[in-house]
Amino acid sequence: MAAVSHLKVPNTLPSSNRRTLGLPPSLRQRPSVVSTAGHATPNRRTDVNGVPASSSSREDLRIGDGPPIRVAFQGSHGAYSEFAAKTAIPDCTTVPCRSFSDAIAAVGRGGADRAVLPVESTMEGTALRNYDLILCHDLQICQEISLFVHYCLLAMPGVRTAELRRVISHPMALAHCGRALAQLGLRREPVEDTAGAVQMLLSRRLVDTAAIASPRAAAIYGLDVLADGLQDASWNVTRFLLLSKPNPAGESPAVPSAKLKTSMVVAHRGGSMMILLKVLSAFSSRNLNLTKLEVNNPSLEGEGPVLVLDLRGMGFLRSFPHVIYVDFEGSTQDPKVQEAMEEIARFSVFVRILGCYAADPDVYDLHH
């Protein structure tokens, strides 16, 4: 079996430290997800359950004086979504769920206070399916967190790389590590999530099989790290959103307006290009900066319409051939933002604010 020269073979299991990476200025100006066209350097360090003291976007540890906030995530303990939740809300209690829909439903029925969903990746682009899930529920975006996704090749203790015949992991993780796995000559088999692959190794004691997961998952489950840095792209970042039930008062977070970000969806039935230009004009004429602008047009892929929960009426789902997702800097309480929203509402069929929350431009790294 051929060796993979660019992979790192660690001498010890990874520690529980993480780094916070600041995005280069050129990347912060990109209108969508983080670009692969550059690298950041560490600018401060905390432990995996700690947060930088200067960060205003971190969630309070508890709701009042009550119990820790409960965050639902898709996957098993050790999944990247769980680490995103722990990074965003350090003292939260995590609630594993089988699917993203189950995580959202947990918030709706009171089984969790938040749900965390991956929505963008530098390697995969926007996860529109997860955005569509947000549109179908009465939840709001309350926080964002970006995580550097570092993949490791994990195996049962004592197993050597030469003994491996196959590798299991989430389909996206397998795709992100395609070149390294081809060099190793391992047969790829997809499973539901990365941490689930680790649990499968342990429960079945598979000595001819490796799993792709995080270095923290290796530490949690006591597996050997045979190689790290398995991902094809050195800059591999995923953006996660945390969702909560709507704030009854409709108030913006208690941070300066300049540090707030608002997410919205614009739905329409006619041609998307004219509406897109009008949306751009509504923001640019008021010097409001966009950080994301994306059209979801499923009809081009031969798929059905986008369903959006109408919160203004009886709470029923409405269908649209295409929608536009917009993130911009600013608060819904800003008069200029309100003017832009009013202008957009005049030429679109439907506008819905998905959330107003503290912007967090940092990327957090769980690898030591």
Catalytic residue chosen out of the listed positions 83, 100, 148, 240: 240
Q: CA 332 to CA 325: how far, in whole Å?
A: 16
Per-residue three-class SS string for 18-86:
EEEEECCHHHHCCCCCCCCCCCCCEEEEEECCCCCCCCCCCCCCECCCCCECEEEEECCCCCHHHHHHH
- The answer to whether 283 and 328 are in contact (CB under 8 A) is yes
Token pair in block for residue 316: 């029923």
CA-to-CA separations, 332 to 123, 179, 337, 357, in angstroms, rounded: 31, 45, 6, 10
Q: What share of the chain is helix, strand, coil (3-state, %, to 5)?
A: 25, 30, 40
Q: CA 214 to CA 231: how far, in whole Å?
A: 11
Q: Torsions phi, psi of 70, nearest 5?
A: -100, 125
Picking from 33, 104, 11, the residue whose alpha carbon sits closest to that of residue 293 is 33
CA-to-CA separations, 351 to 154, 244, 257, 285, 358, in angstroms, rounded: 46, 20, 21, 19, 21
Ordered alpha helix ranges (H), the chain: 25-28, 80-88, 100-108, 128-135, 171-176, 178-184, 194-204, 215-221, 272-284, 335-347
- Cβ-based neighbour number of residue 298 at 10 Å: 16
Catalytic residue chosen out of the listed positions 20, 94, 238, 291: 238
Q: To which residue do tokens 């929505």 refer? A: 119
Dihedral sign, CA of 61, 66, 67, 71? negative
Token pair in block for residue 231: 């991902």
Answer yes or no: 238 catalytic: yes
The amino acid present at 155, given as its one-letter code, is A
CB hemisphere CA count around 53 (13 angstroms): 0
Answer yes or no: 83 catalytic: no
Residues classed as catalytic: 238, 240
